[in-house]
């Protein structure tokens, strides 16, 4: 029994090492430029170890992209519109130096090669933000007539565009500022004024003290 637990723990560590190595390779080379040999070498493992955990390069890329939301956990409890703000700010700050999120940002433009259209990261993030915005609507935080589903898509599209431009211009260092700027432009059109006044922004919403 003890031996089985040790083997399971070793396998879990190996899988994590492969995912982090793959994230670094994908972030540097993109999906097309990466190969399993480079990933295994970066992880300090054999190809056999890689193929024990993943069938191919697409399998690894798919897991990295679809697991992105699991990595973005705001440090403070919140609900509704504040949670939507917190999710996007936490993502923006983490993306600066998290290799797995960086890989996801690079892979987002190539995901048609390894993810079905109905489950791609745009759809995934739209569903997540849609939940927050529907809750905001129920809490009467949004103006009457706001199309929550369209707003969720708009926020995801804006965040995607912001990270692409931020990468080109500042290596994503100003991404958190761009995301906050996006919200401050949107909020007067979508949110109740009293709610806007109590929303919190800044690095403290995204990082633990």
pLDDT at 10: 82
pLDDT at 3: 54
Q: What is the pLDDT of residues 59-104, one digit of tens each?
A: 999 999 988 999 999 999 999 999 999 999 999 999 998 989 999 8
Q: What is the mean pLDDT of each run of 10 residues along the chain (209 residues)?
A: 61 90 93 93 93 93 90 95 98 93 88 79 92 98 97 96 94 96 97 97 88
Chain region(s) in the chain for CATH 1.10.10.60: 2-64
CATH classification (class only), 68-205: mainly alpha
CA angle at 125 for the pair 22 and 113, rounded to the nearest 5°: 45
CATH 1.10.10.60 fits 2-64, yes or no: yes
- Please name the residue ranges forming H helices in the chain: 2-33, 36-43, 47-53, 57-66, 68-71, 80-95, 99-107, 121-138, 148-170, 175-190, 193-198
On whether the CB atoms of residues 80 and 141 are closer than 8 A, the answer is yes
**Residue in the block written with tokens 């129920």:** 138
Chain region(s) in the chain for CATH 1.10.357.10: 68-205
């Amino acid at each position: 029994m003890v031996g089985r637990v040790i083997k399971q723990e070793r396998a879990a560590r190996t899988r994590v090492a492969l995912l982090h190595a793959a994230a670094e390779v994908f972030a540097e080379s993109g999906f097309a430029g990466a190969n399993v040999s480079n990933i295994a070498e970066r992880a300090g493992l054999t190809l056999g170890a890689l193929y024990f955990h993943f069938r191919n390069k697409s399998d690894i890329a798919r897991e990295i992209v679809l697991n992105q939301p699991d990595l973005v956990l705001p440090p403070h409890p919140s609900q509704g519109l504040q949670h939507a703000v917190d999710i996007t700010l936490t993502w923006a700050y983490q993306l600066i130096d998290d290799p797995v999120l960086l890989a996801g940002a690079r892979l987002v433009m190539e995901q048609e090669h390894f993810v079905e259209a109905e489950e791609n990261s745009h759809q995934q993030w739209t569903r997540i933000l849609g939940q927050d915005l529907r809750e905001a609507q129920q809490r009467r935080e949004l103006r009457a007539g706001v199309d929550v589903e369209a707003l969720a898509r708009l926020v995801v599209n804006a965040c995607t565009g912001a990270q692409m431009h931020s990468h080109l211009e500042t290596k994503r260092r100003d991404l958190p500022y761009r995301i906050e700027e996006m919200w401050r432009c949107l909020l007067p059109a979508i949110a109740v004024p009293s709610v806007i006044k109590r929303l919190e922004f800044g690095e403290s919403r995204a990082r633990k003290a």
